Amino acid sequence: MGVGVLIKAGDTVIDGSFRSKLNRLSDALQA
């Protein structure tokens, strides 16, 4: 396990939660 793998995993988790927040926000705006 290299540091790059850990960073990549962290980015994926952050990106996923960020995208779900953005999706909820856009859903709320369109509602």
**pLDDT one-digit tens code per residue, 1-31:** 688 898 898 888 888 888 899 999 999 999 7
Cα dihedral sign for 20, 31, 28, 26?
positive
> What is the predicted pLDDT for the residue at 1?
63
Structurally, the chain folds into a number of domains equal to 1
Can you give the pTM of this predicted structure?
0.48
> What is the predicted pLDDT for the residue at 10?
84
Per the structure block, which two tokens stand in for 21?
């927040």
> What is the predicted pLDDT for the residue at 13?
84
Q: Which domain covers residue 1, as residue numbers?
A: 1-31
Per the structure block, which two tokens stand in for 8?
């990549």
